[in-house]
């Protein structure tokens, strides 16, 4: 059977033939009297017909694909309009994304991402959708040639400000934003075809919904980009932090040492491993088990090495099945590569075992045998890539091996050891060094379960602090409960916390009306108020999917919806006044983890409207906003 468009063309030719004077009707088949005459779908103008334009694969943004026009010439054939075809996951990948352009303030229009067609055929993206953490939108229709890139921008004009020389294929989102605006500190992207099939996805920063661990959050002006272009193993390690974004180009592969048929580079060695996780969740998956065991490699050479085909193993001829590193497992020169048991499925024995690194040929490149392993203590080289093995250095996965610092005694007495239990106020406990065991009492300022099953905040009249249970789940603790906690002082991403070893380290000693938030200026959100329940008001400076930035004239404050909170931030407009109640937290992005302060709302009712008096005036109370309290406030998830 002829294709539909050819059948239509034949009917048009027949209709034209029947209208030409002197044309013989015997050239057309006779139609039955009760058969309706087919209607031609092409309009034939009375003027001279022109040849049909043929659409090219490189569709310009905003330019509709030309519609075929009928013609009297028997040699002119209309070109059918390209239609969407079925695609497989990974055919098109999100190759690069810039969630935080260099512009300050509201920068959603400047955000962009890059798509890459990994196949040898053109792919029509018609009816495809793109979603972030909150919003799903339909992409503009475009045809992506094989092996080609296309940029999807919030606004093309805004994109051109940062990339004035760009000449590649580009489209812009209908509403001028990608999703609800990409979060600078974390978000996700989901690419689906017209059938709803997930073609590609990624998450970064503090969002673990796709990759766990996710891709890193990048600095303003940087991008996340696959290296090399199109490389896809469905892991965060496919992406690198690119300080010089390259829309429409793609990154090349790192130069690698080329092995000879009989040997491979001898510059990659075992550098550190931990065989006995006990109280520390090393891979941050919420539990402590054999998945927290880890092995670290180090490249002491001057060129990158592709470890694809190399193997990690324990004792020879027994134990676990060897783990084969996938192609593209590149380790840069003078750099580390870390593997958790969750990935390798290797199980190292606490009472003695071996760790081995093998070439693809089976030759043992490096190995180490131990007789016993201490809980949460690693074996490491005294010098990265060399030296001797020791079990006295503090664990440093993915970081240089260093001996523990020698404590300096004070002028009158040595500092107390971690075994000495300190009793006092929260403010005094916060001033003690990390590793000190403390016992404090404070009133819960949030229900257990709101910020996850292992975190709760407590506060007394001096300060507030995060309390974290290392494994398991906290009991059903309520805002207003007075708690006595016993644990070890710790710091995560710059935020002070008390780490509990077991559920019994927290006890309810009473209950009172929940503590009201302290009314504060937006500029007070920082180290001095970390762990405290505050109420701030200010004008909305900017916002994205998970964050709102407020300022009452004293300094900018970041209001962040913590991952997994269970509700979305309210809709806001730039310039409006907003009152928010929340707990001051810190999440530094890079060592030494300075900055990154944020206010974490707990419940939907923590958001209010215009305060009674504008805080910028400095006159009188800032607000009469009083959240409604109850025995079990809404937002309690158990």
How many Cβ atoms from other residues are within 10 Å of residue 526's Cβ? Answer: 13
Least confident residue range of 45-59, 374-388, 437-451, 550-564: 45-59
Residue 382 within any structural domain of the chain: yes
Residue-wise pLDDT tens digits, 124-149: 999 999 999 989 999 999 999 999 99
Gap between the Cα atoms of 107 and 127, Å rounded: 26
**Domain CATH for 152:** 2.60.40.1260
The mean per-residue pLDDT over the stretch 457-463 comes to 95
Residue 477 and residue 431 share a domain = yes
Q: Does a structural domain hold residue 260?
A: no
Q: Are residues 121 and 230 in the same domain?
A: yes
In this structure, what token pair is assigned to residue 478? 């309520």
What range does the domain containing 48 cover?
1-54
Tell me the backbone φ, ψ of residue 526, rounded to 5 degrees: -175, -160
Of 35-39, 533-537, 610-614, the poorest mean pLDDT is in 35-39
In a domain, 180, yes or no: yes
One domain, residues 504 and 526: no
One domain for residues 301 and 366: yes
Cβ proximity of 201 and 209 under 8 Å: no
Tokens found for residue 159: 């994109």
Q: Is 622 contained in some domain?
A: no
224 and 302 assigned to the same domain: no
Same domain, 99 and 231: yes
Residues 96, 232, single domain; the answer is yes
**Alpha carbon distance 480, 475 (integer Å):** 14
Cis peptide before 592 (omega within 30 of 0): yes
Last residue in a domain, options 461, 496, 511: 511
CATH label of the domain that carries residue 466: 2.40.50.200
For residues 34 and 161, state if they share a domain: no
Domain boundary among 390, 413, 443: 390
How many Å apart are CA 240 and CA 481, to the nearest integer? 45
Task: Give domain status of residue 66, yes or no.
Answer: no
* Closest CA relative to residue 99, chosen from 611, 589, 627: 589
Residue 354 lies in a domain: yes
Mean pLDDT, rounded, for 193-221: 91
How many domains are there within the chain? 5
pLDDT band at residue 564 under the 50/70/90 scheme: confident
In tens, the pLDDT along 84-130 reads 455 788 899 999 999 999 998 889 999 999 999 998 899 999 999 99
Does 428 share its domain with 452? yes
Kindly report the CATH number assigned to the domain that includes residue 532: 2.40.50.140
CB atoms within 10 A of CB 334: 13
Partnered with residue 586 across adjacent β-strands are 597
Residues 500, 550 within the same domain: no
382 and 446 part of one domain: no
Q: Is 629 within the bounds of a domain?
A: no
**pLDDT at res. 47:** 30
Strand spans (E) along 105-197: 112-117, 123-125, 129-131, 136-138, 142-144, 149-153, 170-172, 186-192
pLDDT at 611: 55
> Can you give the pTM of this predicted structure?
0.38
| Residues 100 and 202 both lie in one domain | yes
64 lies in some domain:
no
């Amino acid at each position: 059977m002829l294709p539909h468009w050819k059948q239509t063309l034949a009917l048009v030719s027949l209709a034209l033939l029947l209208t030409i004077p002197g044309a013989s009707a015997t050239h057309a088949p006779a139609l039955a009297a009760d058969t309706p005459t087919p209607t031609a779908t092409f309009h034939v103008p009375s003027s001279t017909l022109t040849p049909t334009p043929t659409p090219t694969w490189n569709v310009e943004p905003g330019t509709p694909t030309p519609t075929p026009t009928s013609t009297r010439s028997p040699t002119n054939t209309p070109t059918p309009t390209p239609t969407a075809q079925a695609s497989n996951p990974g055919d098109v990948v999100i190759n690069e994304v810039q969630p935080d352009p260099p512009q300050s303030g509201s920068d959603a229009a400047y955000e962009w991402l890059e798509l890459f067609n990994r196949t040898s055929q053109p792919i029509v993206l018609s009816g495809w959708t793109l979603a972030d953490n909150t919003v799903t939108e339909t992409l503009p229709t475009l045809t992506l040639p094989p092996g080609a890139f296309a940029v999807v921008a919030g606004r093309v004009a805004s994109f051109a400000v940062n990339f004035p020389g760009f000449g590649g294929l580009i489209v812009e989102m209908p509403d001028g934003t990608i999703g609800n605006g990409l979060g600078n500190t974390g978000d996700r992207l989901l690419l689906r075809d017209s059938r709803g099939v997930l073609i590609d996805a990624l998450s970064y920063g503090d969002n673990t919904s796709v990759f766990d661990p996710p891709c890193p959050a990048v600095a303003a002006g940087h991008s996340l980009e696959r290296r090399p272009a199109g490389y896809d193993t469905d892991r965060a390690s496919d992406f690198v932090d690119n300080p010089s974004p390259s829309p429409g180009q793609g990154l090349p592969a790192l130069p690698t040492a080329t092995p000879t048929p009989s040997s491979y580079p001898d510059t990659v060695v075992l550098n550190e491993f931990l065989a006995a996780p006990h109280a520390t969740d090393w891979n941050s998956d919420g539990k402590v088990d054999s998945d927290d065991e880890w092995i670290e490699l180090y490249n002491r050479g001057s060129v990158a090495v592709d470890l694809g085909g190399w193997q990690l193993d324990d004792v020879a001829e027994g134990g676990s099945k060897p783990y084969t590193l996938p192609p593209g497992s590149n380790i840069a020169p003078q750099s580390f590569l870390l593997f958790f048991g969750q990935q390798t499925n290797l199980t190292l024995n606490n009472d003695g075992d071996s760790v081995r690194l093998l070439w693809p040929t089976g030759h043992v490149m490096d190995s180490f045998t131990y007789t016993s392993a201490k809980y949460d203590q690693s074996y490491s080289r005294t010098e990265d890539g060399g030296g001797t093995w020791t079990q006295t250095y503090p664990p440093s996965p993915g970081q240089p091996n260093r001996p523990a610092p020698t404590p300096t005694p004070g002028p009158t007495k040595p500092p107390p050891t971690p075994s000495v239990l300190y009793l006092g106020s929260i403010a005094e406990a916060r001033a003690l060094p990390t590793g000190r065991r403390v016992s404090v009492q404070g009133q819960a300022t949030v229900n257990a379960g709101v910020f996850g099953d292992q975190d709760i905040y407590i506060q007394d009249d001096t300060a507030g602090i995060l309390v974290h249970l290392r494994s398991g789940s906290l009991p059903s603790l309520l805002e207003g409960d007075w708690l006595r906690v016993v644990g070890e002082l710790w710091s995560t991403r710059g935020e002070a916390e008390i780490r509990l070893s077991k559920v019994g380290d927290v006890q309810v000693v009473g209950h009172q009306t929940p503590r009201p938030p302290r009314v504060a200026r937006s500029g007070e959100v920082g180290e001095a108020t970390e762990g405290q329940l505050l109420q701030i008001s200010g004008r909305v400076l900017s916002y994205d999917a998970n964050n709102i930035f407020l300022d009452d004239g004293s300094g900018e404050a970041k209001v962040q919806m913590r991952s997994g909170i269970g509700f979305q931030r309210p809709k806001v407009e730039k310039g409006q006044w907003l009152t928010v109640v929340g707990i001051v937290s810190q999440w530094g992005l890079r060592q030494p983890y300075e900055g990154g302060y944020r206010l974490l709302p707990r419940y939907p009712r923590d958001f209010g409207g215009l305060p009674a008096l504008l805080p910028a005036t400095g006159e009188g109370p800032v607000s009469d906003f009083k959240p409604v309290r109850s025995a079990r406030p809404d937002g309690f998830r158990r």
